[in-house]
Amino acid sequence: MKSLRLTAVSATLVLAALAGAGPANADAPTAAGLLQAGAQKGVADGYPGVIGLVRQGDTTQYVHAGVGDLTSRVPADPKAQFRIGSNTKAFTSTVLLQLESEHRLSLDDTVAKWLPGAVNANGYDGTKITIRQLLNHTSGLPDYAKDTGFSLNYALDAQPNQAWPPQTLVNIALAQHKPTSAPGQQWSYANTNYVLAGMVIKAVTGNDPATEIQHRIIEPLGLHDTTFPTTDPALHGNYLHGYEYPVIGIVIRDITASDVQAFGPAGAIVSTLDDLATFSRALLSGQLLPPAQEAELKTTVPENSDGTAGYGLGIIHEQLPCGQWVWGHNGAVLGYFSDWIASDDGTKQVVRVNNEYHMLTPTQGQQDTGQAAIDAYCAL
């Protein structure tokens, strides 16, 4: 595989000090050059570090700006691990699609068939919600992550080892309010859906979703830098430190160690640019799923009213301003914001990561690096 790493450069001493030095090609009108310029802008906006990848066919180019550790000031490494947040959802949906292909379940099974009583409170009824509706976010269930008590506890990260049993998270969601729409009626993103999806995986297989993802996806694809932590809040080896900007008067702090049980199958996986690109290419190209399930994966429900975005089963279909349609997703957990976009066959890909997230979006850094990712893809 061909590869090229671009390092951060700048025309000014101030930005050079923030982003580091490198060859004078960051402003070239190429996909990698555009992504590099966006990485530098993200650091200028205040991010500690930004890394990214542009991949077309067998050629991969890497970009980086800023630092991966504010204490040691080591440059942000495009090979470093990071928390991928809700990009985990595609891994979880893939396992359920594989189980369907093995005739062990149907996506049209109700939640209650596999999890009797799990969704049966405050007007919600698991006998009327299907697995498919969990995966495409049309279940009508509230998002437990929007609960004030949960979100404050998570943002403060005072107890990174706190246990969050899946049913506890579901109960937090159900208690928020009564249903505002019937199952299947409208799209509404909720991490609760994927916590329940993980519970279904365990009910069907007898194994935790982390175990199934390890055996079905991580090992077959050789994702050697990808893990699904279930108890350990720390990162190990080569990783980007994650940071949290001031919230409620708190100074910027290293928040690398955070509670992995808070999101589990909805957002706990740790990976790298390369591994995330390998997984998404394998998923989109049909390497992980038979044709019938690949079609289900890519069957979308509308996310907006203008028809430019739809949600499949753990992945998003979106039309970019340049007119091209892409698949992708993003992930936002304490300390990290990442996303990927790719062509329908996975041959064209852009992945980017920022090592700061404080539960509020969009920040200027997210906007600038996100726009750069779009511009980079459109230049491929």
Query: How many whole angstroms separate alpha carbon 4 and alpha carbon 25?
Result: 12
Check whether residue 4 and residue 40 sit in a common domain.
Answer: yes
**What pairs with residue 60 in β-bridges?**
3, 55
The residue from 283, 298, 313 where one domain ends is: 298
Burial class (CB in 10 A: 0-12, 13-18, 19+), 151: middle
Of the residues 86, 93, 139, 343, only one is catalytic, namely 86
**Residue 8's pLDDT is what?**
34
The residue from 263, 298, 333 where one domain ends is: 298
- In tens, the pLDDT along 218-241 reads 999 999 999 999 999 999 999 999
Within a domain: 160: yes
The residue from 266, 298, 330 where one domain ends is: 298
- In tens, the pLDDT along 146-199 reads 999 999 999 999 999 999 999 999 999 999 999 999 999 999 999 999 999 999
**Mean pLDDT of the chain, nearest integer:** 92
Check whether residue 47 and residue 88 sit in a common domain.
Answer: no
- In tens, the pLDDT along 80-136 reads 999 999 999 999 999 999 999 999 999 999 999 999 999 999 999 999 999 999 999
**Residue 11's pLDDT is what?**
27
Check whether residue 266 and residue 158 sit in a common domain.
Answer: yes
**Residue 249's pLDDT is what?**
64
Check whether residue 140 and residue 230 sit in a common domain.
Answer: yes
Within a domain: 344: no
Which pTM does this prediction carry? Answer: 0.92
Look up 86 and say whether it is catalytic.
yes
Within a domain: 317: no
Within a domain: 369: yes
Check whether residue 131 and residue 200 sit in a common domain.
Answer: yes
3-state secondary structure the chain: CEEEEECCCCCCHHHHHHHCCCCCCCCCCCHHHHHHHHHHHHHHCCCCEEEEEEEECCEEEEEEEEECCCCCCCECCCCCEEECHHHHHHHHHHHHHHHHHCCCCCCCCEHHHHCCCCCCCCCCCHHHCEHHHHHCCCCCCCCHHHCHHHHHHHHHCCCCCCCCCHHHHHHHHHCCCCCCCCCCCCCCCCHHHHHHHHHHHHHHHCCCHHHHHHHHHHCCCCCCCCECCCCCCCCCCCECCCEECCCCCCCCEECCCCCHHHCHHHCCCEECHHHHHHHHHHHHCCCCCCHHHHHHHCCCEECCCCCCEEECCCCEEEECCCCCEEEEEEEEECCEEEEEEECCCCCEEEEEEECECCCCCCCHHHHHHHHHHHHHHHHC
Within a domain: 321: no
Check whether residue 154 and residue 25 sit in a common domain.
Answer: no
**CATH at residue 290:** 3.40.710.10
Check whether residue 96 and residue 152 sit in a common domain.
Answer: yes
**Residue 361's pLDDT is what?**
76
Within a domain: 337: no
Check whether residue 1 and residue 88 sit in a common domain.
Answer: no
Check whether residue 202 and residue 269 sit in a common domain.
Answer: yes
Within a domain: 167: yes
Distances (CA, A) of 54 to 3, 286, 344, 378: 10, 21, 16, 11
- In tens, the pLDDT along 282-328 reads 999 999 999 999 999 999 999 999 999 999 999 999 999 999 999 99
Residue 25's pLDDT band, with cuts at 50, 70 and 90, is: very low
> How many independent structural domains does the chain possess?
2
Residue 6's pLDDT band, with cuts at 50, 70 and 90, is: very low
Check whether residue 248 and residue 152 sit in a common domain.
Answer: yes
Check whether residue 133 and residue 15 sit in a common domain.
Answer: no
* Segment 31-35 mean pLDDT: 98
**Residue 7's pLDDT is what?**
35
**Residue 248's pLDDT is what?**
59
Within a domain: 316: no
Check whether residue 158 and residue 42 sit in a common domain.
Answer: no
Two structure tokens written together for 279: 């997984």
Q: In which domain, by residue range, is 226 found? A: 82-298
